[in-house]
Chains A and B, each alone.
Chain A
Amino acid sequence: MANSLRLYLTCIRNTLEAALCLQNFPCQEVERHNKPEVELKTSPELLLNPVLICRNEAEKCLIETSINSLRISLKVKQADELENILTKKFLRFLSMRAEAFQVLRRKPVQGYDISFLITNYHCEDMQKQKLIEFIVQFMEDIDKEISELKLSVNTRGRLVATEFLKQFI
């Protein structure tokens, strides 16, 4: 199982290396403006083909590129209802603090759990390899975090239930 995770992450890493070739590009539609073309989508010639990498039915990653920006959307594995709620709450917590992350998008793209928006300005300020490393590390950590949260919820539930029902013995 860990093997398929390695393959999945390597595939995403290689795609990002090719896709993160961004450059400063002023808006063609509005004068004096500079917008991330992947969000705007008004000029189809400036967009590249989106790449969808699926690990299985539940986990996938969509990478959409344009001339000056890149959007990565992730769908995290959610096995049951509890994981569903935990993932939603945890990722919402992170998305609301998107300013601190700089490359995080405030709202995930429709159909996904979390999205990143990397622009040419991020590539100018930061190293490309480090950005890719960050994304991949993030994906590994998310899985760990959700499992830990689920474990602690279950443990706490068991403890609370035991304490509560003791009074009926």
Chain B
Amino acid sequence: MASVSVHQFAPCITCHAWSPDQSMIAFCPNNNEVHIYKMLEGKWEKIHVLHKHDQLVSGIDWSRRTDQIVTVSHDRNSYVWSLEASEWVPTLVILRLNRAALCVQWSPKENKFAVGSGAKTVCICYYEQENNWWVSKIIRKRHDSSVTSIAWHPNNILLATTSTDGKCRVFSTFIKGVDTKHSSSGSDSKFGEQIMQLDLSHSWTFGIRWSPSGNTLSYAGHDSMIYFVDDIGPSPSAQSLAFRDLPLRDVLFLSERMVIGVGYDCNPMVFAADERGLWSFLRFLDERKQTSNAKYGSQLSGTFGKLYGQSKSGSNEANESSRIRAHDNCITSVVPLKKTRDATVTTFTTAGLDGKVVTWDLQKQQDLMAYLQG
């Protein structure tokens, strides 16, 4: 079994992030707060509640080196939290957004972070020492619809975005004074310059990620496809992989040749590339066969409750008993937990709309370990 531990933190989890030492988890329980839990004496204890946003917190990222948490919310605000004497203190971020913020990620050097928004813009924020706040530069007029997911290239300059207009774009986010010019990176690019645009998907695109070396890009489309792009630049080569199951919401590169996709199937999917670089679907990660009657508790009122209750008992037993999985509802995010020295991930966690955080470990999966060493 690949899943190591399952824990129900809340009725529903929107997004989650781990602390640098993996002892604490920060997540949003589908409201305007961020809860931080720590594992004390084998039990998860709630140690902090970050309460500053007015609406749903849609993105959380915890930086590795500077130990800061950045949160963005549907209320167009963002805060950077730092731990000062066991209290999390928010620092204001001037985002200048006029619609909801949908996703956030720290850059690899953690001197910038990017926010994707429903205003069809991407904000790149950097710290201004004089005023003690984070200011933003905005990439406008490039996206036709909301920016759903963003990912930083390891070189701290390139940023890839996905949007509900079905396209994937790569931008340069070079900021004078924050980034140092690399003479080896070729042409010096302006801020907001679009390096590449891919129109592979017929439907919305989510969950974009770069491979550990930055050579390959991967994102998921709502038409049950996953895309792998190599040679980012004027002539990229892309592979589109269609699968028979429900679409994915998020992807994660475990190594150069292995990708985990999570989505509406409630089961992580493993994709791997062979020696020639051709990607294919390997298998589902959770292969459990049990028959048990799980009790589904939910608050319902009146007539609907009665009819809903009827449907519970009258449902097709064959569907249920075939597979009881770790997750009951859609998995919304996948976050790496442990990285080996060569940046391959062997442990990762998934969180979903069922409120569970499941830890997966691939050490025991012999057939998958081969791809991790590649």
B142 interface residue per 8 A CB criterion: no
Our pick among A25, A31, A124, A137 for the contact of B307 (Cβ within 8 Å) is A137
B286 interface residue per 8 A CB criterion: no
Q: Report whether A32 and B353 are in contact in the complex, using a CB–CB cutoff of 8 Å.
A: no
Our pick among B14, B296, B304 for the contact of A101 (Cβ within 8 Å) is B304
A100 interface residue per 8 A CB criterion: yes
A 89-134 contacts with B by CB, 8 A? 97, 99-104, 123-130, 133-134
A 56-83 contacts with B by CB, 8 A? 67
Binds A, one of B127-135, B277-285, B312-320: B312-320
Q: Report whether B145 and A43 are in contact in the complex, using a CB–CB cutoff of 8 Å.
A: yes
Contact-size category for A? 35 or more
Q: Report whether A127 and B99 are in contact in the complex, using a CB–CB cutoff of 8 Å.
A: no
Tell me, in angstroms, the Cα distance from A130 to B296 when the chains sit together.
10
How many residues from B make CB contacts under 8 Å with A? Answer: 54
**Closest Cβ of chain B: how far from A88's Cβ, in Å?**
19
Mask for A16-38, Cβ within 8 A of B = 1, else 0?
01100101111110011010000
Q: Report whether A46 and B164 are in contact in the complex, using a CB–CB cutoff of 8 Å.
A: yes
**Residues in chain A near residue B264, CB distance under 8 A:** 21
B337 interface residue per 8 A CB criterion: no
**Closest Cβ of chain B: how far from A47's Cβ, in Å?**
11
B 123-181 contacts with A by CB, 8 A? 144-146, 164-166
**Residues in chain A near residue B310, CB distance under 8 A:** 137
Q: Report whether A25 and B311 are in contact in the complex, using a CB–CB cutoff of 8 Å.
A: no
**Closest Cβ of chain B: how far from A139's Cβ, in Å?**
12
Our pick among B58, B100, B315 for the contact of A130 (Cβ within 8 Å) is B315
Tell me, in angstroms, the Cα distance from A97 to B310 when the chains sit together.
19
Residue of A nearest to B75 (CB): A32
Our pick among B164, B301, B330 for the contact of A21 (Cβ within 8 Å) is B330
Q: Report whether B319 and A129 are in contact in the complex, using a CB–CB cutoff of 8 Å.
A: yes
B356 interface residue per 8 A CB criterion: no
Q: Report whether B144 and A45 are in contact in the complex, using a CB–CB cutoff of 8 Å.
A: yes
Q: Report whether A124 and B30 are in contact in the complex, using a CB–CB cutoff of 8 Å.
A: yes
Residue of A nearest to B203 (CB): A48
Q: Report whether B312 and A130 are in contact in the complex, using a CB–CB cutoff of 8 Å.
A: yes
**Residues in chain B near residue A46, CB distance under 8 A:** 145, 164, 204
Q: Report whether B304 and A28 are in contact in the complex, using a CB–CB cutoff of 8 Å.
A: no
Given contacts A21-B246, A32-B100, A48-B203, contact A26 B118 (CB under 8 A): yes
**Residues in chain B near residue A99, CB distance under 8 A:** 301
Tell me, in angstroms, the Cα distance from A45 to B222 when the chains sit together.
12
B 76-119 contacts with A by CB, 8 A? 76, 98-100, 102, 118-119
**Residues in chain B near residue A128, CB distance under 8 A:** 329
Q: Report whether B165 and A45 are in contact in the complex, using a CB–CB cutoff of 8 Å.
A: yes
Tell me, in angstroms, the Cα distance from A128 to B353 when the chains sit together.
11
Tell me, in angstroms, the Cα distance from A128 to B352 when the chains sit together.
14
Residue of A nearest to B165 (CB): A45
A 135-165 contacts with B by CB, 8 A? 137-138
B268 interface residue per 8 A CB criterion: no
**Residues in chain B near residue A130, CB distance under 8 A:** 296, 308, 311-312, 315
Given contacts A45-B144, A127-B329, contact A26 B100 (CB under 8 A): yes
Q: Report whether B329 and A24 are in contact in the complex, using a CB–CB cutoff of 8 Å.
A: no
Tell me, in angstroms, the Cα distance from A162 to B268 when the chains sit together.
68
**Closest Cβ of chain B: how far from A122's Cβ, in Å?**
10
B235 interface residue per 8 A CB criterion: no
B16 interface residue per 8 A CB criterion: no
**Closest Cβ of chain A: how far from B99's Cβ, in Å?**
5
Q: Report whether B145 and A34 are in contact in the complex, using a CB–CB cutoff of 8 Å.
A: no
Residue of B nearest to A135 (CB): B311
Q: Report whether A67 and B204 are in contact in the complex, using a CB–CB cutoff of 8 Å.
A: yes
Given contacts A130-B308, A137-B307, contact A32 B315 (CB under 8 A): no
Tell me, in angstroms, the Cα distance from A20 to B58 when the chains sit together.
21
B303 interface residue per 8 A CB criterion: yes
**Residues in chain A near residue B332, CB distance under 8 A:** 23
**Residues in chain A near residue B303, CB distance under 8 A:** 97, 100-101
Interface residues of B (CB under 8 A from A): 11-12, 14, 30, 55-56, 58, 74-76, 98-100, 102, 118-120, 144-146, 164-166, 203-204, 222, 246-247, 249, 263-264, 296, 298-304, 307-308, 310-312, 314-316, 319-320, 328-330, 332, 353
Given A127-B328, A133-B316, 4 more contacts at CB 8 Å?
A21-B246, A28-B120, A48-B203, A104-B304
User: Could you show 22 A-B contacts with beta carbons less than 8 Å apart?
Assistant: A23-B332, A25-B118, A26-B102, A28-B120, A28-B145, A31-B100, A48-B203, A67-B164, A97-B303, A100-B301, A100-B302, A100-B303, A102-B304, A103-B304, A123-B330, A127-B328, A130-B311, A133-B311, A133-B314, A134-B308, A137-B314, A138-B307
Q: Which 5 A-B pairs have the closest CB atoms?
A: A26-B100, A100-B302, A133-B311, A101-B304, A100-B303
